[in-house]
Chains A and B, each alone.
Chain A
């Protein structure tokens, strides 16, 4: 069955510290991979996406993610977090042929300590 797992429900990091949010997927074909962020009261904003090519992708707001096929993972990273990064982060996968429907992880809530 197709699924996306984000094993951490909450993560707390200090402002200025590095961040890694985990995402593992189970997908029969070559997936397209996405990270979205949802700030309080806001919609879902695309941070970055991976389709093919370089397995390290750069996104907005200083985020990057690395696709590791052997581990079925697509972890999101940021070298130094800011208080404004506090939000919920969602990993999603979509079929290569179309993105008629995205399959979503449960989300990881990021809390920033001052």
Chain B
């Protein structure tokens, strides 16, 4: 069964450093998403991406964040200058379409720890 993959599974970085989290969505999916979950808190939507541009973003997704589909398979989330409060589990998801009937499939997550 096709699945969303994410690398690395765990990333440790120093405050102020740039990090890139990588995701490989399911191959025939067209819509991609990033969510985060701070330890002990709810899952929060960050951004959705379609046709090489951002479709929607939350207020969390400020100028420090960017997303990119550098090639036909990868979907990346970049945090330019990490802060302590960026420490969280980051989930990538993808879906075939964007209607409410289209299921989002999630990857296993990348745990980001900012020291």
Known: A41-B108, A46-B105. A104 touches B100 (CB 8 A): no
Whether B42 pairs with A32 at a CB distance below 8 angstroms is no
A43 and B58 form a contact (CB under 8 A): no
The stretch of A10-18, A63-71, A88-96 in contact with B is A88-96
Query: Which of under 10, 10 to 19, 20 to 34, or 35 or more describes the interface residues of A?
Result: 20 to 34
Cβ-defined contact, B106 with A100, below 8 A: no
CB–CB B107/A99 < 8 A: no
- From B48, B95, B103, B107, A43 is in contact (CB under 8 Å) with B107
CB nearest neighbor in B for A90: B43
Q: Shortest beta-carbon distance, A93 to chain B, in Å?
A: 10
Knowing A44-B91, A105-B42, the reply to whether A49 touches B103 (Cβ < 8 A) is yes
The reply to whether B100 and A101 contact each other, CB–CB distance below 8 Å, is: no
Which B residues lie at the A interface, using CB under 8 A? 4, 6, 33, 35, 41-45, 48, 55-56, 58, 91, 93, 95, 98-109
